Amino acid sequence: MSSLDELGYTPFFSAQIELLPDQEPLTPARVSAESHGLYELMGCTATLGELSGKLRGQLKAAGRPVSGDWVAVSEHGERATIRHVLDRRTQLVRRAAFKDGVPQAIAANVDVFFIVSSANLELNPRRLERYLSAVWDSGADPVLVLNKIDLVDDPALLEAEVRQIAGAASVVSVSAYTGQGMAELGGLLSAQKTVSFIGSSGVGKSSLANRILGQELQATQSIGSEAKGRHTTTRRELLVVPGRGVLIDTPGMREFGMLEDEGGIDSAFPDIAARAQSCRFRDCSHETEPDCAVVAATQTGELSPGRLHSYHKLKREVRAAQARQDPVLGANVKRRWKAINKAHRRSKR
């Protein structure tokens, strides 16, 4: 059994447990996988937990625990009842997938996300920017990892390209194959911290994780096979790196799209945010407004039009998602489009 310390149990979480009003003593545990309403737990004696009836009623589907969550449980042997989900320090959410009007979390309480791209594939700055904003919004720190540098002649050139996108995020070039750069990457891990990998399929996330763990990631293991006759197989998604914290590897990370924006887009585009200070209008959208410093910068070549285009696209996606969520905003957007279409038709007459 891993100790709570090893699992990243910090005062942020212990303070919450101490404040719980429950009569019976509750034990902290960390969720390492979920399958059909059964949660695999670490840090407590029980290995499997289910939500209490009360919690099931209270929590909307999207608010239910995910990998990395800390929960308070009452234990009865091998099984536990989850009584509370502790407040998350960070959460990576998938905006495309709302359940019950709540954005769906993919992983909770991750401290550092390694955003992985591969040196042998066309670098996709727009995708990296997208991941960057998502990670900034999650509350975790992003690190841009350029993997497979063993496959190219001049990794420094590529790294420079990645740095242009990075903003305040750090950049590390590595090869999971030769081990080059792995010491630097490993240096970003630390006891009690949780790290995770995101990036497109095939960039080498599993290879990097394996290299860090110094072993093959645990293969599939079955959880809950004896439980209520359910036979489900799940991969444990949370792994303790001895002395170096915790690694979360969840399938959700592999195919996640757009996310809620809470300033993450501006953090991912510090160059645009800085120039926006000089726009005439404080709420300038850098599209058609007069005296827009951002558009001006694209004309002088200081800012690439592709980058501004990507910024607009992300902002539009956020607006569309918010409109879906917010009926008033949604109606406003609809009204605006109606007016725009009308004006457009009129202009064509």
Residues that bind ligand GDP (CB under 6 A): 147-148, 150-151, 175-177, 201-207
Contact range with Zn ion by CB under 5 A, out of 71-79, 152-160, 291-299, 304-312: 291-299
Rounded to the nearest whole angstrom, what is the least distance from the CB of residue 289 to ligand GDP in the complex?
A: 41
- When CB distances are held under 5 to 8 angstroms depending on the partner's kind, the choice from Zn ion, ligand GDP, none that residue 286 binds is Zn ion
Contact yes or no for 15/194 (Cβ under 8 A): no
Rounded to the nearest whole angstrom, what is the least distance from the CB of residue 261 to Zn ion in the complex?
A: 18
Rounded to the nearest whole angstrom, what is the least distance from the CB of residue 316 to Zn ion in the complex?
A: 15
Contact yes or no for 115/199 (Cβ under 8 A): yes
Q: Rank residues 18 and 122 by Cβ distance to ligand GDP and give the closer one.
A: 122
Q: How far apart are CA 310 and CA 312, in angstroms?
A: 5
Query: CB-side exposure of 81: number of CA atoms within 13 Å?
Result: 11
From 192, 234, 252, 184, select the one nearest 212 (Cα to Cα). 184
Q: Is 258 in the site for Zn ion (CB under 5 A)?
A: no
Q: How far apart are CA 92 and CA 130, in angstroms?
A: 13
Rounded to the nearest whole angstrom, what is the least distance from the CB of residue 189 to ligand GDP in the complex?
A: 18
Q: Rank residues 179 and 306 by Cβ distance to ligand GDP and give the closer one.
A: 179
Q: Rank residues 249 and 266 by Cβ distance to Zn ion and give the closer one.
A: 266
Contact yes or no for 209/250 (Cβ under 8 A): no
- When CB distances are held under 5 to 8 angstroms depending on the partner's kind, the choice from ligand GDP, Zn ion, none that residue 205 binds is ligand GDP
Rounded to the nearest whole angstrom, what is the least distance from the CB of residue 204 to ligand GDP in the complex?
A: 3
Please work out the total of residues on this chain that contact Zn ion, with binding judged by CB under 5 A.
Answer: 5
Rounded to the nearest whole angstrom, what is the least distance from the CB of residue 140 to ligand GDP in the complex?
A: 19
Give 170's strand partners.
143
Of residues 84 through 143, those in contact with Zn ion by CB under 5 A are: none
Q: Is 294 in the site for Zn ion (CB under 5 A)?
A: yes
**DSSP code, position 111:** S
Q: Is 286 in the site for Zn ion (CB under 5 A)?
A: yes
β 27-35/70-76 pair status: antiparallel
From 173, 177, 96, 168, select the one nearest 133 (Cα to Cα). 168
What three-state secondary structure class fits 142?
A: strand
Q: How far apart are CA 131 and CA 133, in angstroms?
A: 6
- When CB distances are held under 5 to 8 angstroms depending on the partner's kind, the choice from Zn ion, ligand GDP, none that residue 147 binds is ligand GDP
Q: What residue ranges bind Zn ion (CB under 5 A)?
A: 279, 284, 286, 292, 294
